[in-house]
Amino acid sequence: MLAPLMQGGLSCWDETQILGGEHRQEQVAVALRESSVAVLLVSSDFLASEFVLGQGLSMLLASAQKESRPKIFWIAVRPCLWQHSAVSTYQPAQDPSRPLSTLSDSEAEAALAGICQLIRAAVVTASSSLGTVALSNPYRGLGAFQIDDAHLFFGRAALTEKLWQRFRLLYDTKEAAWLLAILGPSGSGKSSVAQAGLLAELCERPVPGPQAVRMAVVKPGEHPLRALALALCPAPIGQAPDLTAQSKLIDDLCQPDKRGRFDRLALWAANLPHAATSPLVLLIDQFEEIYTLCTDKAERDAFVELLLHAAHDRSRHVAVVLTLRSDFLGETQRQHPALNRLIGDQEVIITAMSDEDLRRAITKPAEQAGHPLDESTVQLLITETHGSEGTLPLLEFALTRI
């Protein structure tokens, strides 16, 4: 769990960093005083340890909260009788009636993603009140913002809300396909708002809710069916990929049923645990790659048919979100008219950012990191960016150099 948090720019500490000869309680006390958030990994062994039964941990947590008030969460790792323990006074970071060890791999991945999002949000909240935050460079340069970067993503709140509301409306409209298209010119921020905006918001407000949604991000590349299979069947954290399972899924996705329908994506999702309450949200990022990189027309057509069949399935087990450069809309009309019509009915266009939105995108990450930018620099960046097409990645890159 530490890896995605540290990749998101947070400084993390755990007990494995205590060196031999150092006093455990003293080191934990120091770490707690310096932390914005503390997370307890709870199991029967943990609750039965001398550190917990002897009230050592409770005293340290109470003392730390008096001095620096870190937010304290706990996670049920394995089944245990937590109800009458000291941890019950703190906020669980996930449903304690479903410990992580009892979940399937896909459920555990979804639970850990939600936990990481909760922790990052708590760090930002705590840091806002203190005026500091332990982050590395808060800007993302030429790369798109990811889900883990949501705490650094500013200036698109209204657009994110619009996307979430449209996504929810499509779910509620049973006769509609559950497909949302995000269109805009190159460099307009489609990928960033899809991931750090919509997907991150779905972590906080899942649809249909209250169970967490599953998420997979696909960049089609040269072989979109292979990219889809690898996204659906990733290697568990810290383990080698199951090449046999991935190869089988690739083969399955390529096969139409007896009526010529490419329905294997919908069938695959329907067999996931709790599919009705935890649907799969499939983001196809840079959808235009099926035209620019994929040279196999049969594979391209099968990929599109898989997405359309899954999105039209009334079971609502799969939601499709795609980002598409607006100059490729004509390509969808020529090659995939059914998809083109659906995009025309269910698209959200990424419009230019207002000066106020640009100001927030420029200033808020630096303020959050404790290094606010001077007004003359901010105004110059707004002036240079305003009205220019495709300049958001260049703006972020320039900010990494300030």
Q: Which residue has the tokens 């002036």?
A: 383
- Is 395 a domain residue? no
Q: Does residue 208 have a cis peptide bond before it, meaning omega lies within 30 degrees of 0?
A: yes
CA distance 400 to 124: 20
174 and 110 in a single domain? The answer is no
- Is 147 a domain residue? no
178 and 98 in a single domain? The answer is no
Helix (H, G, I), strand (E, B) or coil at 238: coil
336 and 199 in a single domain? The answer is yes
pLDDT in tens, the chain (402 residues): 555 565 555 677 777 666 555 566 677 777 777 778 888 888 888 877 776 766 667 777 776 666 556 788 888 888 888 776 777 777 888 888 888 888 887 777 778 877 887 887 777 666 555 444 444 677 777 778 888 788 888 899 999 999 999 999 999 998 999 999 999 998 888 999 999 999 989 988 899 887 888 889 999 999 999 999 988 887 654 556 677 888 888 888 888 888 888 899 999 999 888 888 889 999 999 999 999 999 999 999 999 999 999 999 999 999 999 999 999 999 999 999 999 999 999 999 998 888 888 888 888 888 877 778 888 888 888 887 776 666 676 777 677 766
331 and 288 in a single domain? The answer is yes
CA distance 346 to 322: 11
CA distance 37 to 122: 7
- Is 391 a domain residue? no
Instruction: Give me the number of domains the chain comprises.
Output: 2
CA distance 179 to 277: 18
87 and 204 in a single domain? The answer is no
339 and 200 in a single domain? The answer is yes
Helix (H) or strand (E) holding 347, with range, is strand 347-349
- Is 279 a domain residue? yes
198 and 161 in a single domain? The answer is yes
Last residue of a domain, one of 333, 349, 365: 349
Contact 180, 170 (CB under 8 A): yes
Specify the pLDDT at position 83: 74
- The CA distances from residue 277 to 126, 210, 307, in Å, are 32, 8, 20
Contacts of 240 (CB under 8 A, 6+ apart): none
320 and 278 in a single domain? The answer is yes
Last residue of a domain, one of 303, 334, 349: 349
Specify the pLDDT at position 131: 46
205 and 92 in a single domain? The answer is no
Contact 217, 383 (CB under 8 A): no
CA distance 175 to 172: 9
Last residue of a domain, one of 304, 334, 349: 349
Q: What are phi and psi of 23, to 5 degrees?
A: -80, 120
Residues written for the chain: 402
- Is 374 a domain residue? no
164 and 309 in a single domain? The answer is yes
- Is 282 a domain residue? yes
- Is 364 a domain residue? no
121 and 178 in a single domain? The answer is no
Predicted model pTM: 0.66
CA distance 147 to 203: 9
Could you list the residue range(s) of the whole structural domain that residue 213 is in? 156-349
Q: Does residue 224 have a cis peptide bond before it, meaning omega lies within 30 degrees of 0?
A: no
- Is 104 a domain residue? yes
168 and 315 in a single domain? The answer is yes
Residue 273 sits in a domain whose CATH number is 3.40.50.300
